Amino acid sequence: MDNELLQKKIEQAPLSHRIKEIAAIRIRYGYRRIHTLLKREGWQFNHKRVYRLYRQEGLQMRHKPPRCRGERQAPG
């Protein structure tokens, strides 16, 4: 059984590496957009696998900090 898990990890290593590369370049991309990019590149993987690997690598989409809204000044 452990041999099967090791085999799966070895098979998924290139995909995991590519997900990390894309996430480093495209900081604001989540797993859905990364899955779309991988599909365009010719990878044949399910979105659930991409999500699982995305989470295993500890990747998270980075959010923009909220803008400060200054008080409006009265004209004149």
Domain residue limits, the chain? 2-56
Question: Quick one: three-class SS letters along the chain?
Answer: CHHHHHHHHHHHHHHHHHHHHHHHHCCCCCHHHHHHHHHHHCCCCCHHHHHHHHHHCCCCCCCCCCCCCCCCCCCC
pLDDT tens profile 35-74: 999 999 898 888 898 888 888 887 776 667 777 776 666 6
Q: What is the pLDDT of residue 39?
A: 92
pTM: 0.68
Q: Which has the higher per-residue pLDDT, 76 or 25?
A: 25
Q: Which has the higher per-residue pLDDT, 3 or 73?
A: 3
Half-sphere exposure of 47 (CA within 13 A, CB side): 8
Q: What is the pLDDT of residue 19?
A: 85
